[in-house]
Structure 1
Amino acid sequence: MAQINTCLKRTFTIFNLFFAIIGGAIIVLALLCQSLTNIDGGDGLEGRTTGLIVLYVVGGITMVIAILGAYGAHKESKVCLIVFLVCMVIGSLLMLRAGIPSAIFRPQLEGVLEQRFRQVLPLDKASDEVKNVADALQTKMHCCGLFSYTDWEDEIPSSCLCNQEEEMEGLCQSIGYMRLLQLGPQRSVYTKPCFPIMMQYFLLIADIVLGVVFTLAILALLGMTLSSIMIHQMRYPERPTLLMHVPAIFTTPPPKYQELHNPPEY
């Protein structure tokens, strides 16, 4: 006889299926970030390797825990469910510990990144690795410099230069002869700097990460609740109902009306 309610077991299985999908999505996100940052020396960006490792580990652990929970519910294994419950408790605490400070720090992210990027200026005197990354960003995003074309001082690269079509669209500005001496007078470079465009992506990634963290925290709390109920049902299974048999005595009730044999005297 099954000790766990069938409806609860199905709900828990669907929950773990969704939990596994979340883990797979995290791994896909890590692969996407790895491919997007693996351009022209972008694989050497500070913190990139650590971030990717964290995403892969979190995604893999999430899928393993989901499989463990689904197996424990299907086999009604108390050991698996207890391990799942412990993982949910630890996971919810870790997610809240990481998510709450990150959400508080999020409004300060732009200022911190701006300060870090200004440390590599001027770009023409930066390392070759930084120059390669900057050239790749300028080519893909059609921008020039981190905060302005003046970040390159007098050595503005060709990735900053506009073509005639872009000049007609108003995406460029003309640079005087003294500032662009080696390229000749009145050359056009992109008007937009790269940092605001990069910040849009950084903030988007930060919002996605925060969403994933708090989603995992909510799922961990839900999984903790469901697994606790299932463990309780396995520990205290429903007992069959005892029917009390009370002997019944049937007697013939007296008639409602009794016939008068002697007529009344007049």
Structure 2
Amino acid sequence: MGTVNACVKRGYITVASLIAILSALLLAITLFTHGYFHEDEQIENVLPELQVMYATSLITILLVTTGLYGVCKRKKWMLICYIVGMTLCSMLLGVLGIHGATGRPKVIQDIKAHYLGVIPFSNASKEDIDGINDLQTDLQCCGMYQGYQDWGYNISEACLCVEDAVHPCVAAPRNSSLFENAKTDDPIMIYKEPCITYLADHILYALDVLLGVILGTLSLWVLSVVLCVVTLCQMNRKEDTPTVVYSPEAKAGNYSILLDDSELT
């Protein structure tokens, strides 16, 4: 069995240990998320994603443990298991990344179609109205497509501008519900822009961050597989042992005395 280069071995151990730490962090986040939604009615909606996160983190931790033990104890079959397992996981992660990158436009279309279906807001359900109000407060916007006009007469109070608003505001129409209890003639400022543009930008940003995390994780997994393959190849390499040849002339005491010509005369 050949000798493994120290730099290659240390590099593999470092990368594999980093993968193990990230996998343990993913498992902790999954457990926290599962506990957070445990008694929520939305647990059925996020349960498939949680199961994928559980499987990914646990399988990765198991493979990394196998690979680290194999490189430390010079077990070739463990390194082979790590290479095969991480290669399959990398292929699956790559497919998910490609699917996510190509599906970005469809996600935005589905979001727009969903909110287009709740207009006019007078016919929307309470859950949809509550969600839209949360968006208006968080994104500092009003309405979804045509601004405050989407609300008609009953403009939501979530459209009211705050003092440190970063998005443009406009005076609300005086024939709206906001002036029913007004005690002064001062204008009431509401957000001017609709929410759909800001919402689409936030979703695209979140998808880009997710794709970046997937790409970084995939690069780390591929690097660990390459280092593991190099390690396995070096372990399979035969060391060149010099051949020992016996010579009868190499006897103890078989030496010649070197003298000068002057000493011989």
TM over 0.5: yes
Which residues of 2 match residues 42-191 of structure 1 at below 5 A?
44=42, 48-107=46-105, 109-147=107-145, 148-162=147-161, 165=163, 171-178=168-175, 180-181=176-177, 183-184=179-180, 187-191=188-192
**Aligned residues, how many?**
244
- The alpha-carbon distance between structure 1 residues 115 and 216, as it changes in their structure 2 partners (threshold 3 A), is same
- Conserved? CA contact 2:23–2:60, under 8 Å: yes
Number of the residue aligned with 2:16: 16
Shift of 1:206: 0.8
Q: What residue is the counterpart of 2:198 in the other structure?
A: 197
Q: Deviations over 1:95-142 (max 9, x none)?
A: 222222322333554334322332232334222222222222222332
Residue type of the partner of 1:14? T
2:213 corresponds to which letter in structure 1? V
Task: Note the residue ranges of structure 1 that are not aligned, 5 or more in a row.
Answer: 253-266
CA 1:132 to 1:227, structure 2 compared with 1: closer, same or farther past 3 Å?
A: same
Change (3 A) 1:173 1:49: farther
Asked whether the equivalents of residues 149 and 193 of structure 1 are also in contact (C-alpha less than 8 Å), the reply is yes
Counterpart CA distance in 2 for 1:154 and 1:57 is 51
Separation in structure 2 between the aligned mates of residue 10 and residue 197 of structure 1, nearest angstrom: 47
- Scaled by the length of structure 1, the TM-score of the pair is 0.72
Change (3 A) 1:143 1:182: closer
Q: Indicate how the Cα distance of structure 1 residues 166 and 210 shifts in structure 2: closer, same or farther if over 3 A, else same.
A: closer
Over aligned residues, Cα RMSD in angstroms?
A: 3.8
1:170 & 1:12 partners in 2: Cα distance?
Answer: 49
Cα distance in 2, alignment partners of residues 155 and 238 from structure 1: 82
**Alignment CA distance shift 1:241-1:177 (3 Å):** same
Deviations 1:80-99 (A, max 9, x none): 22221111111121122222
Structure 2 CA distance for partners of 1:109 and 1:45, relative to 1, 3 Å: farther
Give yes or no for the alignment of 1:241 onto 2:238.
Answer: no
Structure 2: runs of 5+ lacking an equivalent: 257-265
Give the conservation status (yes or no) of the 8 Å contact 1:174–1:188: yes
Secondary structure of the structure 2 residue equivalent to 1:219? helix
Q: Which has the higher contact order (CA 8 A, sep 6+)?
A: 2
Deviations 1:1-56 (A, max 9, x none): 98544332211110112212333454577689x59x98xx9x74995444454345
